[in-house]
Amino acid sequence: MTRGGGVQSRCLGVTLQLLLAAVLHQGFATVAPPTTAPHKDPGRPEKGHYAVTRSNGTACLLASMGLQLNISFNALSQNKTVQDVVNLQPNLTKASGSCDSDRASLQLLTDAEKTNLTFTFTLVSYCGSFSFPYSVPPRFLCPLVNDSDS
């Protein structure tokens, strides 16, 4: 047996074979990408009826809707994307808000005050004057104009 640099060639051959086997094994090994557990489908959301009232008790905003949130975020600590689908439960949701002459907001607070959704509606009054070669009742041009204006 010959020596090469203080290592017997027979040992060097075994080392190369083991190293080559390890590289080939790693090359053919399949590594599964990180995945999230499948979420439970919460089904169709239950419809809730929400109202915002002025100080005199008249409603300024009414909403009737079922709310389903599709949530996805990157969990850096787990090195994966987390996805979930959540329905808001109307019986566990508190509605509040405010009304101004050109704006109304609806705030929904749910899940032990963990989820806070705010919807803001702004009146856009860009309906000034229109010019058409034929007569069109104003209610079709701008829904904010009364029929009595025509």
Identify the pLDDT of residue 34: 56
Q: What are phi and psi of 32, to 5 degrees?
A: -75, 135
- Residue spans of the domains in the chain: they are 1-31, 47-149
Identify the pLDDT of residue 7: 43
Identify the pLDDT of residue 140: 52
Pick the CATH number of 47-149 from 2.30.30.100, 1.20.140.10, 2.40.160.110, 3.90.1140.10: 2.40.160.110
Is the CB of residue 68 less than 8 Å from the CB of residue 117? Answer: no
Look at residue 25 and tell me whether its pLDDT is greater than 90. no
SS3 assignment, position 40? coil
Q: How many CB atoms lie within 10 A of CB 40?
A: 8
Task: Dump pLDDT digits (tens) for 89-143.
Answer: 999 999 999 999 889 999 999 877 788 899 998 887 766 555 555 555 555 555 5
Burial (CB count within 10 angstroms: exposed 0-12, middle 13-18, buried 19+), residue 112: exposed
Task: Dump pLDDT digits (tens) for 27-81.
Answer: 444 555 555 555 578 899 999 999 999 989 999 999 999 999 888 888 888 888 8
CA atoms of 135 and 100, how far apart (whole Å): 34
